[in-house]
Structure 1
Amino acid sequence: MFILPDPVGSMPEVVKELHEYGLLSGFKINDSKSEILAISPQKHWRRVLSMQYAFRWCSSSLVYLGIRLSPDIAKLFTLNFTPLLEVFKTDIARWSPKYLSWMGRISIIKMNLLPRLLYLFHTLPICIHLSFHKELRMLFSSFIWPNTRPRLKHAILCKSKRNGGLALPDTRLYYYATHLTRVIDWVTGSPEQKWLDLEEAQAGRPMWTLPWLPWSAGKNTDKELSPVGSTLAVWHKTRTKYTLSTYPSPLLPLRYNPDFPVEILQSLATRLADSPNTGVHHILRNGTFVTLEAPDRPAPTFAELFNFHQIKSFLRKLPNNNSLTRSLSSFEILCRRTSPLAHGVSTLYGLLRDLVNEPPAHMSRWERTLNTSITDEVWSSTLS
């Protein structure tokens, strides 16, 4: 696939490179099977290219690696998920009459239907309405219990086997998990994810800051249901629903934070942390502010002390600032990893499923602190 901002000027060079590659490798591009889709106003260049190349022109979408792409992002769901749902209905109608056990039918869903769905979740990080998951749930239920009413609740079927369930896939949680893997990629800055620089250019700030900033700071990235805006929308929904994090979080960034426009001195940042991504967890340790004095370092300068007091003043005035001193949640610990998360979707799916079934006791305390705030005097005495 090639994205050509200047089709008339770039297409001859692309075709030339492909032709030279074909002479060396013995391969040849089939022009009649190659497709072109205009993602911007065509102006005059379609007429020029149509006269020179035998490529097939697509009116509204083209297929690439099994994904139907469209210039209109709002149509991606209709072009990809709706046809897949119809295929699922056809497959299930063909399989339902066969003699299969409960476990056999659930295994078919896990091995045949779920991978196709996860592929779209991965490649198309868009917002999906809850009605789609409800329709899938009804479809799976009709397949597991053909010609009869369900004998077990859907929530029980979706539990893990160790918790008394049958591990039926919950498509809604898998949808959340695929978006949450992108959040972890943002924070860890995995070099394997080549798309991070593109999304950072769209967001206008470093990606590692987005999950920990308030919704008001990131909602402007939700332009035309972009991938960044869609993932942020899912993140802020699951963050509160499953108590994956709070605002403010101990991972709240101090640099690139629109609520804290003060520039942090490089010398102070070096004293606080080895990482250039200075956050609250570098300032607060074990519930108290760190000290700048160290036996192996020179005394802090007046500018560094003043800058440090600016940071402390900002943190004391934050609403619900007592959540800054709590321990990190399971999801936040995953975000602190220095290496990519292996089996990220299955790991996060298991985390969400466990939180649905048995919310940890300490999570409820976080929820109680969301709507409370403390005065500067209590904050000063607690974090002295």
Structure 2
Amino acid sequence: GIGEAASIKYLGVTLPRDLSKLFDINYGPLNLKIKSDLHRWNVIPFLSLNSRIESIRMNILPQLLYLFQCLPVKIPPKQFLEWDRLIARYLWQGKKARIKFRTLQLKKEKGGMGLPCLKDYYHAAQLRPLVCLCSPSYTAAWKEIEGTTIKGIPITALLSDYKLREEQQIPENSITGSFFMSWQELAKTCGVGDTSKIMRWCAYDSDFAPNKIDNRFKLWISKGLTSYHSFVHKGIFQSFETLKKNHGLGKDDFFRYLQVRHYFNRNFKEVLRKSESSFMGVFLSLIKPRSDSRIISKLYNAIQLSKHGNTEYIKKKWEKEMKIIISQEGWEEICQLQWVSTRSNTWREFCWKNIVRFFVTPIQRRYKNNGDACWRLCGSKGADHFHVFWDCQVIKPYWEEFHKHIENIFNVSIPFKCETLYLGNLQMDTWTTKDKKLLAILLATSKKAITRKWLKPDPPTINEWIEIVFQIYVMEKISFSLQIELGTFYKIWTKWTEYVKPIRSDFT
């Protein structure tokens, strides 16, 4: 019978009699399934890097995310490392990685590929119940069972008050204890520090002396004045008159108001400024009324931002080779431009690969005793990305002719630089959206003409470039037709079709 069974399965989660086996009995079979899936998918020859990342996001992540949400158990760090190794081996098909794993995990506009970071999703999923407990508008049966207070003190008030939490002696192996452990770990990961103190409640704050001798602060809770953040509106501590009007404070509360304001100005003024642009800002927005949608997604994005991951090391390599300085704003625009070229993920991935230096150049192959001379026989040694894609004298005429065509098409003057024509760092504030789109496509195809002649001594030609543009033109036309947006398609391509009509009438 059920009473004698070693375990039972409920809603996809296995519950063993011995709860110490909760992790192994649930994650063990899932790990075997993940390994089997990745091994099976790995033999599919036509999967691109982007497709492999999407398969992780759409197939592997949901399976793990379900358990992350359902099981409040600690996952050992070595398990996340094992998952990362499995995924990395699958992404690169067992070969040496060309791009750092943490770079792939960055958002696309930051220069990454949006590969899910399982550890960050785990933290976000573990924190979701805590957000729901702290949110006044979230209602559920489990919330009533768990309760929103511990010994009469709201969980929100305990979150950032370690001294107060210690006094309550919350067992670590309890559900609430696991929530607090997740919070502590995440606070450390995100560098929350003192910014979390803005969540303390003036009625319970262990460092706010007046609440020890005056219970009136507890009466403010029913009026909606709870955390110190509740006293703030648009970054400013509200006046007493405003609080009287909105929260019903009486004249006899004025001295208490002065006590709270003095304490706030002394301890939280700088903290408030930091919290608005950090992980805490997102957390505080989620526990507000009617903010309980897409909680895990919002927490995950906040965790990612707080880690300050970037592709600065890639930018520095380009700067060193080109002997220039690329502004941070310029680099961000370069990264974003790669994902707006066409509707094809294959082309977007290709554009991204150019920016992150995916392709192997002679200077990288020199360690395999292949030499570092340019394969175009230009006589240059130490051929790096800058040389292969731009500075080689063999392909200079190609770029010069391409540059002339671009200026004629858009009737603008564009600097003849690698930074502008290859990386796409252009001042496009005055450009229309359709012209930006067309330019992004033309820049992408100019690079494809080079990679199609990879390891060959002869340079690409303008005719080859035009042919590649035609291939994209056909596919984009089909794509826009399916979306019943042909009018938009013709608006984007008008300048190009008018320009090449004398030599290529098939652009219609």
Q: TM-score, normalised by structure 2?
A: 0.51
1:198 partnered with 2:145: yes
Give the deviation of 1:238 after TM superposition.
1.7
CA 1:219–1:120: 2 relative to 1, 3 Å? farther
SS at match of 2:74: coil
The answer (yes or no) to whether the contact 1:159–1:357 under 8 Å persists in 2 is no
The answer (yes or no) to whether the contact 1:250–1:326 under 8 Å persists in 2 is no
Query: 1:145 — aligned with what?
Result: 92
Query: 1:343 — aligned with what?
Result: 294
1:89 partnered with 2:67: no
For 1:208, give the aligned amino acid.
Answer: T
SS at match of 1:246: helix
The answer (yes or no) to whether the contact 1:250–1:325 under 8 Å persists in 2 is yes
SS at match of 2:14: strand
CA offsets per residue over residues 198-251 of structure 1, 9 Å max, x none? 333784332332323226615966525333222211212222331346356222
The answer (yes or no) to whether the contact 1:248–1:323 under 8 Å persists in 2 is no
Equivalent pairs, count: 298
The answer (yes or no) to whether the contact 1:269–1:278 under 8 Å persists in 2 is yes
Query: Which protein has the bigger helix share?
Result: 2
Give the deviation of 1:151 after TM superposition.
1.4
1:76 partnered with 2:22: yes
The answer (yes or no) to whether the contact 2:201–2:228 under 8 Å persists in 1 is yes
- Matches of 2:258 and 2:238 in 1, distance apart? 11
Q: 2:60 aligns with which of 101, 110, 113?
A: 113
- Matches of 2:9 and 2:100 in 1, distance apart? 39
For 2:155, give the aligned amino acid.
Answer: M
SS at match of 1:63: strand
| Higher normalized contact order (CA 8 Å, seq sep 6+, divided by chain length) | 1
Query: 2:174 — aligned with what?
Result: 226
Q: TM-score, normalised by structure 1?
A: 0.66
For 1:118, give the aligned amino acid.
Answer: L
1:352 partnered with 2:303: yes
Query: 1:378 — aligned with what?
Result: none
For 1:62, give the aligned amino acid.
Answer: I
CA 1:58–1:166: 2 relative to 1, 3 Å? same
Give the deviation of 1:114 after TM superposition.
0.8
Q: How does 1:278-357 map to 2 (within 5 A)?
A: 278-282=226-230, 290-291=239-240, 300-301=251-252, 304=253, 307=256, 323=270, 325-326=272-273, 328-329=275-276, 330-357=281-308
For 2:223, give the aligned amino acid.
Answer: D
Structure showing greater Rg: 2
CA 1:298–1:349: 2 relative to 1, 3 Å? closer
The answer (yes or no) to whether the contact 1:77–1:128 under 8 Å persists in 2 is yes
- Matches of 1:139 and 1:163 in 2, distance apart? 24
Identity among equivalent positions (%) equals: 24
Q: How does 1:131-170 map to 2 (within 5 A)?
A: 131-170=78-117
1:274 partnered with 2:223: yes
- Matches of 2:27 and 2:89 in 1, distance apart? 20
Query: 1:210 — aligned with what?
Result: 158
User: For structure 2, which runs of at least 5 residues remain unmatched after alignment?
Assistant: 311-508
- Matches of 2:243 and 2:42 in 1, distance apart? 71
CA 1:192–1:145: 2 relative to 1, 3 Å? same
Give the deviation of 1:141 after TM superposition.
0.6
Query: 2:2 — aligned with what?
Result: 36
Give the deviation of 1:83 after TM superposition.
2.2
- Matches of 2:270 and 2:200 in 1, distance apart? 11
1:243 partnered with 2:191: yes
CA 1:341–1:267: 2 relative to 1, 3 Å? closer
Query: 1:17 — aligned with what?
Result: none
Q: 1:185 aligns with which of 127, 132, 149?
A: 132
The answer (yes or no) to whether the contact 2:201–2:226 under 8 Å persists in 1 is yes
Query: 2:482 — aligned with what?
Result: none
1:176 partnered with 2:111: no
CA 1:356–1:248: 2 relative to 1, 3 Å? closer
CA offsets per residue over residues 160-182 of structure 1, 9 Å max, x none? 22222111111001011112322
CA 1:222–1:111: 2 relative to 1, 3 Å? farther
The answer (yes or no) to whether the contact 1:315–1:321 under 8 Å persists in 2 is yes
- Matches of 2:169 and 2:125 in 1, distance apart? 19
Give the deviation of 1:324 after TM superposition.
5.2
CA offsets per residue over residues 123-166 of structure 1, 9 Å max, x none? 11222221111110001011111231111111111112222211
CA offsets per residue over residues 10-68 of structure 1, 9 Å max, x none? xxxxxxxxxxxxxxxxxxxxxxxxx624xxxxxxxxxxxxxxxxxxx313x21111101
The answer (yes or no) to whether the contact 1:63–1:69 under 8 Å persists in 2 is yes
CA 1:226–1:83: 2 relative to 1, 3 Å? farther
The answer (yes or no) to whether the contact 1:213–1:252 under 8 Å persists in 2 is yes
SS at match of 1:146: coil
CA offsets per residue over residues 271-299 of structure 1, 9 Å max, x none? xx831x52223557766685479998897
Query: 1:252 — aligned with what?
Result: 200
The answer (yes or no) to whether the contact 2:61–2:116 under 8 Å persists in 1 is yes
Query: 1:103 — aligned with what?
Result: 50
SS at match of 2:223: coil
